[in-house]
């Protein structure tokens, strides 16, 4: 469910015509619906209310400050993976005791900063990392909370690039090694190993892989308990899939229905780290049709957004629905078209062999489901300025990130004096 709907011939975000936004802000333009964003957060919260989970929104999905602030104000915690994300979390006033920190490659500096800020805990992904956090904590004379990220070796049935819970993936620690860590936990004088974490992948549409992973976790928790090892937290990660195409993902309610009986038995405090589920359908990327080009083999709709703005189709061959900002009675295009950007790569496409109705040069198209891993994965490739972002709430619109300028792009660059003939 989302708040991007046609009213008459016009695609609207909440109560504003997308077409009006293009006139005001230009394109490429990210448009977010405040209510969709918050609704998804609340849906998950309600679905899991029996266990009163801490929902740590996964910052990587969309890390724009206004998006984070909107969620933090509603009580969300944050799941972070870098010093940069920690700094964003602090900027929007997220309470430190609601921040969890994953990543297989945390640097000393990042670890130190997160300890100083007193985050809730680190999700630790290897034994060397555990030793390192202990060493840094000792140096700072602090006892630090950590959760062990388990790699439960389950198949999440999603794209291989976003599968994270198989033993061939770099993430987490297998059960046996984790058990051994718990047995020598006293060696880590400055750590409080207080929880377990999993994140088995992203865009998971079925509950079976989750149930399998959580069941394995519950067994492991029971095994630890039998050895007198008590924990406080179980973090079940993110990964909930959304509708991009014809998927029929489990609803939050269904997911909760399947997971809750197992979670409740553990008697631990439950943490969730959803990213896409909250932000994915809350944003679209709006782009202008520059040219329509026919070749002997293909018809290309060339738009002003590129893979630098939205990388998902190029990287994962991801499907995004594409809708016209205005529909009217023009003849529908009957042949299939490729919708492509201006970048010098053949991977720079948004759709292949797609039937699109009503498209002419100068039209505007909305690439749907671009709220998560859209702007946050964007780049300046081809020296393109990153897009403007606006947030719509009912009939009001707010710029939440200005379009970059060419000066922005070169501001950190230095031409050495010898090249300047000095």
Q: Kindly state whether residue 199 participates in binding ligand LLP, applying the rule CB under 6 A.
A: yes
Site residues for ligand LLP, 23-62, by CB under 6 A, read: 58, 60-61
Question: In the bound complex, what is the minimum distance in angstroms from residue 319's beta carbon to ligand LLP?
Answer: 11
Question: In the bound complex, what is the minimum distance in angstroms from residue 187's beta carbon to ligand LLP?
Answer: 26
List the Cα angle 392/396/398 in 5-degree steps: 60
Q: For residue 153, what are its two tokens?
A: 């070796």
Q: Kindly state whether residue 209 participates in binding ligand LLP, applying the rule CB under 6 A.
A: no
Q: Kindly state whether residue 238 participates in binding ligand LLP, applying the rule CB under 6 A.
A: yes
Q: Are strands 396-401 and 388-393 parallel, antiparallel or unpaired?
A: antiparallel
344 annotated active-site = yes
Site residues for ligand LLP, 272-301, by CB under 6 A, read: 273-277
Task: Please tell me the distance from the alpha carbon of residue 243 to that of residue 182, in angstroms, as a whole number.
Answer: 40
Q: Kindly state whether residue 312 participates in binding ligand LLP, applying the rule CB under 6 A.
A: yes
Nearest residue to 74 (alpha-carbon basis) of 61, 57, 60: 57
Distances (CA, A) of 376 to 292, 295, 341: 29, 34, 18
Task: Please tell me the distance from the alpha carbon of residue 410 to that of residue 267, in angstroms, as a whole number.
Answer: 53
Task: Please tell me the distance from the alpha carbon of residue 292 to that of residue 111, in angstroms, as a whole number.
Answer: 51
Query: What residue has token string 């997308």?
Result: 18
Site residues for ligand LLP, 322-381, by CB under 6 A, read: 372-373, 377
Report, in angstroms and rounded to the nearest whole number, the Rg of the chain calculated over CA atoms.
Answer: 23
Candidates 82, 126, 163, 202: give the one binding ligand LLP (CB under 6 A).
Answer: 202
Candidates 102, 115, 133, 325: give the one binding ligand LLP (CB under 6 A).
Answer: 102
Candidates 240, 284, 365, 392: give the one binding ligand LLP (CB under 6 A).
Answer: 240
- Residue from 12, 56, 344, 358 carrying the catalytic annotation: 344
For residue 28, whether the previous peptide bond is cis, meaning omega lies within 30 degrees of 0, is yes
Q: Kindly state whether residue 120 participates in binding ligand LLP, applying the rule CB under 6 A.
A: no
Site residues for ligand LLP, 155-174, by CB under 6 A, read: 162
Q: What is the DSSP letter of 240?
A: B
Q: Which residues are catalytic?
A: 344
Binding site residues, ligand LLP, CB under 6 A: 58, 60-61, 79, 102, 162, 199, 202-203, 237-240, 273-277, 312, 316, 372-373, 377
């Amino acid at each position: 469910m989302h708040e991007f709907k046609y009213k008459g011939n016009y695609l609207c975000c909440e109560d504003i015509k997308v077409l009006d936004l293009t006139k005001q802000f230009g394109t490429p333009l990210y448009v977010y619906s405040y209510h969709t964003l918050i609704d998804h957060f609340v849906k998950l919260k309600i679905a899991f209310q029996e266990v009163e989970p801490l929902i740590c929104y996964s910052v990587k999905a969309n890390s724009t400050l206004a998006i984070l602030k909107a969620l933090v104000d509603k009580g969300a915690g944050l799941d972070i993976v870098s010093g940069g994300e920690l700094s964003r979390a602090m900027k929007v006033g997220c309470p430190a005791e609601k921040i969890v920190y994953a990543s297989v490659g945390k640097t000393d500096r990042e670890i130190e900063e997160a300890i100083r800020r007193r985050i809730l805990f680190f999700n630790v992904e290897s034994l060397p990392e555990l030793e390192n956090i202990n060493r840094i904590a000792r140096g700072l004379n602090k006892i630090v909370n950590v959760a062990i990220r388990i790699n439960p070796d389950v198949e999440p049935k999603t794209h291989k690039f976003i599968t994270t819970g198989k033993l061939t993936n770099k993430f987490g620690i297998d059960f046996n090694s984790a058990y051994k860590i718990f047995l020598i936990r006293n060696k880590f004088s400055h750590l409080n190993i207080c929880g377990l974490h999993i994140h088995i992948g992203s865009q998971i549409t079925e509950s079976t892989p989750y149930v399998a992973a959580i069941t394995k976790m519950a067994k492991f928790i029971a095994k630890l308990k039998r050895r007198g090892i008590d924990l406080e937290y179980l973090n079940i990660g993110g990964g909930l899939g959304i509708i991009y195409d014809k998927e029929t993902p489990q609803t939050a309610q269904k997911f909760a229905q399947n997971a809750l009986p197992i979670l409740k038995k553990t008697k631990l405090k439950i943490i969730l780290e959803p990213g896409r589920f909250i932000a994915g359908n809350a944003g679209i990327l709006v782009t202008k049709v520059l040219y329509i080009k026919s070749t002997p083999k293909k018809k290309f709709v060339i738009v002003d957004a590129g893979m630098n703005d939205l990388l998902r189709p190029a990287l994962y061959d991801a499907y995004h629905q594409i809708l016209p900002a205005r529909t009217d009675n023009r003849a529908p295009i009957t042949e299939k078209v490729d919708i492509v950007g201006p970048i010098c790569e053949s991977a720079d496409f948004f759709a292949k062999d797609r039937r699109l109705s009503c498209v002419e040069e100068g039209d505007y198209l909305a690439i749907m489901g671009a709220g998560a891993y859209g702007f946050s994965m964007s780049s300046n490739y081809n020296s393109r300025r990153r897009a403007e972002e606006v947030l719509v709430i009912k009939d009001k619109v707010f710029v939440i990130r200005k379009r970059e300028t060419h000066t922005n792009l070169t501001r950190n660059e230095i031409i050495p004096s010898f090249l300047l003939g000095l």
